[in-house]
Amino acid sequence: MLGPVAALLVVGTIASGAVAPDAAAQDYPDKPIRIVVPFTPGGSSDILARTFAQRAALGQPILVENVPGATGAIGLTRVAKSAPDGYTLAMGASATFVISPHFNFKLSYDPIRDFVPIAILAVTPNALVVNANLPANSVGELVALAKANPGKLNFASIGTGTGHQLMGEMLRRSAGIDIVHVPYKGSPQALTALLAGEVQLFFFPAFVDALSHLQSGRLRALGVADSRRSQAAPEIPTLPELGHQIVSPAWHALVAPAGTRNAIVQRLAAEVQRVNSLEEVKQILAKQGSETRSMAPEALLEYIVSEHARYGRLIRDIGVKAE
């Protein structure tokens, strides 16, 4: 059942004619479709968009255009202001839809009101990883160590106001421990600091960036910050299993401008599901440390609304301010 905010948005979509009979939706698509990736080429959003575009069978080509800048805001703003005809889509992500909007009040787009979610292309679980020299082989041992040494353990992030910091703050609150946040400019720098012992723990997509170090024994993964175990490492328990309700996977979704007809949204969602069911796509995602996760457009809308509100409450409660 949809919540009040999502229900209001769906009603507004119906009122705009999204589910009314229309010949245009039946003929869709009759020209090339463009997916705007609001980041530079080579990143997760770009790889996922191109993986879908190259395998979609909609009768028209799908072009991928990179429009980076302002942490995704430039590209997303362009799509938000585009005609809601299904020919200009965007790659949305957890970072740009449910986290960064709480830090940037000057955004020229609203992630909830200005877009219609279509489908999730991939989810990437984050893991709590520690330096192998740390005398903690489990989350319980890590918490005990932190309580015995308040203020002496550091956790890395890729910047203040990022999901990586928020996961560390969630652990601090859940476990009742005093750990120190150390922000870095990016994941490579944070990983280097973790390997060097400058910081002792880090939440990040360990099964991509740190897989070789996990396999070599230099790093140790203690738990996955998700509601289900990672397909890449099913032997690692989830943090909720261990008593810490830290659920913060990174996700990437295909979205359209608000007002896009429901028939078009449903057709695109069905095609994403078909492409994601291909074995070769599952293998591509696995190499990225990602996995598919099927969710209908209506359920995805509800999920985004809920996550946006959840992160907003957390950010207000802990008083985090972006640099």
Instruction: For residue 77, give the CATH number of its domain.
Output: 3.40.190.150
Residue at which a domain ends, from 208, 242, 276: 242
Q: Does a structural domain hold residue 177?
A: yes
At residue 232, the pLDDT reads 85
Instruction: Convert the pLDDT of each residue in 169-182 to its tens digit.
Output: 999 999 999 999 99
At residue 22, the pLDDT reads 57
Instruction: Say yes or no to pLDDT of 117 above 70.
Output: yes
At residue 21, the pLDDT reads 44
Q: Phi/psi at 174 (nearest 5 deg)?
A: -65, -40
The angle that helices 297-318 and 262-276 make with each other, rounded to 10 degrees, is 90
Residues 19, 84 within the same domain: yes
Which amino acid type is present at position 241?
E
What's the pLDDT band for 323 if we cut at 50, 70, 90? low
d(CA 238, CA 80): 36
Residues 79, 161 within the same domain: no
* 3-class secondary structure per residue, 229-288: CCCCCCCCCECHHHCCCCCCCEEEEEEEECCCCHHHHHHHHHHHHHHHCCHHHHHHHHHC
Q: What is the average pLDDT across 222-242?
A: 94
Instruction: Say yes or no to pLDDT of 132 above 60.
Output: yes
Instruction: Convert the pLDDT of each residue in 267-287 to its tens digit.
Output: 999 999 999 999 999 999 998
Instruction: Say yes or no to pLDDT of 26 above 90.
Output: no
The angle that helices 279-287 and 44-55 make with each other, rounded to 10 degrees, is 170
d(CA 227, CA 184): 27
Residues 155, 73 within the same domain: no
- Is 163 within 8 Å of 71 (Cβ atoms)? no
What Å distances lie between residue 273 and 47, 255, 281, 308, CA to CA? 17, 14, 11, 24
Instruction: Say yes or no to pLDDT of 50 above 50.
Output: yes
Count of structural domains, the chain? 2
Q: What is the average pLDDT across 138-154?
A: 98
d(CA 36, CA 119): 15
Choice between 103 and 251, residue whose per-residue pLDDT is larger: 251
d(CA 9, CA 267): 20
Residues 231, 258 within the same domain: no
Choice between 8 and 101, residue whose per-residue pLDDT is larger: 101
Q: Does a structural domain hold residue 221?
A: yes
CA 216 to chain centroid, in Å, comes to: 28
Q: Which of 98-102, 203-207, 304-308 has the lowest mean pLDDT?
A: 203-207
Residue 100 lies in domain: 4-123+250-318
At residue 1, the pLDDT reads 38
Instruction: Convert the pLDDT of each residue in 6-20 to its tens digit.
Output: 443 443 443 344 444
DSSP state of 3: -
What's the pLDDT band for 212 if we cut at 50, 70, 90? confident
Choice between 284 and 23, residue whose per-residue pLDDT is larger: 284
